Amino acid sequence: DAGVIQSPRHEVTEMGQEVTLRCKPISGHNSLFWYRQTMMRGLELLIYFNNNVPIDDSGMPEDRFSAKMPNASFSTLKIQPSEPRDSAVYFCASSSGTASNQPQHFGDGTRLSIL
Amino acid sequence: GEDVEQSLFLSVREGDSSVINCTYTDSSSTYLYWYKQEPGAGLQLLTYIFSNMDMKQDQRLTVLLNKKDKHLSLRIADTQTGDSAIYFCADLNQAGTALIFGKGTTLSVSS
């Protein structure tokens, strides 16, 4: 079975540019999560969708970050304009229930470098 | 606030047992989780324990939960070089909307 698919795997861009990260959750999963991983802060939740609706976006750092889930099989995380401090690995995860009752399955992440 | 703490490093010899420890602050979780991350990869769900259990065994893995002390441990029996990775303990936040991860324990297995 296909797991969570993220693209691109790596992204290097200059500061000020728009960055779009993509995620395809596991088919049939109705919860989707975006996380950011850095050495300093570890893994942090950015936003959680359930049935395509954002439930918790309290982790989105600022207005430069936005996330959408137009349908059950696709989500994007956009950073505009990007800054060097946004450099991190961004993970997407999905689960078949809510955050509280089903384990989350992670994609391989997008390694983002902002120069 | 909610927090999950882990020791950062553990080094063992091949064939020995590894014990990775975790403490958490929120006691309302239904489940507690252990994830494994290999270099360049995402997090792989290793095992999880229901909060009303004290112990769960899954092949070489044993999870112990002490709810009174808010302490969770993962024991890997007969540790192999392929077990070298970062291990994350995760707890659910109070809102029930997301996992809170520890900083991860890097397990190094030498032959």
* Alpha-carbon distance A72 to nearest alpha carbon in chain B (angstroms): 18
- B100, A59 contact by CB (below 8 A): no
Residues in chain A, overall count: 115
Looking at the predicted structure, is the pLDDT value of residue B88 above 90? yes
* pLDDT for res B27: 66
Region at B74 (left for phi over 0; alpha for psi -120 to 50; beta for the rest): beta
Burial classification of residue A4, based on how many CB atoms lie within 10 Å of its CB (0-12 exposed, 13-18 middle, 19 or more buried): buried
Of A42, A100, A105, the CB nearest to B45: A105
Q: Band of the pLDDT at A40, cuts 50, 70, 90?
A: confident
Looking at the predicted structure, is the pLDDT value of residue A33 above 80? yes
B99-101 and A110-114 as β-strands: parallel, antiparallel, unpaired? unpaired
3-state secondary structure at position B83: helix
Q: What are phi and psi of A86, to 5 degrees?
A: -80, -5
Task: Look up residue A33 and give its two tokens.
Answer: 């999560």
* pLDDT for res A100: 65
Q: List chain A residues with CB under 8 Å of B50.
A: none
Asked if A104 reaches chain B (Cβ–Cβ under 8 Å), the answer is yes
Please count the residue pairs, one from chain A and one from chain B, whose beta carbons lie less than 8 angstroms apart: 55
